[in-house]
Structure 1
Amino acid sequence: MQKELPEWFDEEAARAEEQAISGQAVNKDASGGPVKPVKRINKAFQVEEGRVAKWHLLVAMEKGKRRGHKSGPELIDEALDLLFERYGI
């Protein structure tokens, strides 16, 4: 059984995240510093039908994490980096 977090915890976590995103973090070491916006372009990929459910599950699992979660685009970036490394690019 998980211990329930105090009421103020979610509010403070949300406030810290907003400060980090805006670059106004009070404690830059704690927040990881200002977040630089990433310029993205749309690129259409076709995915095998059997992988779609796993993809949605992975994204949902990451969104469910309180800290350190990755968005769908961040997961795609990670996957591409792994492919680039594997193929020496």
Structure 2
Amino acid sequence: MNRRSLCDQSLLSPTRTKRVSNVKSGNLHDHWTVICYMIGLINILSAVWMLIAPEHWYYNLPVGVPESGPLNIHLIRDIGCTFLVLGFGLLAGGFYFI
């Protein structure tokens, strides 16, 4: 890709106008919006589980977390906060895609 082809692209790309036309036709959500909402909600639910009951999360998560090392509640809560921020970021991103 050269400099001229990058200059020809504007901030209002054809996908932006396509999304506006989808809203006019009654289709409010495209597939990326739905994916962002679903993954964001999963992250938020997992974060709430980590923050409220870190020991329960550690021993009952089906992927075998106890085999990876001893229980560290501080680390689990840090990861829970990260998941919470990522979840809200994905919800905001999904809202932006509308």
Shorter-chain TM range is under 0.3
Give the number of the structure whose residues are more often helix, by fraction: 2
Higher relative contact order (CA 8 A, sep 6+): 2
Please tell me whether Structure 1 or Structure 2 has the larger radius of gyration of its CA atoms: 2
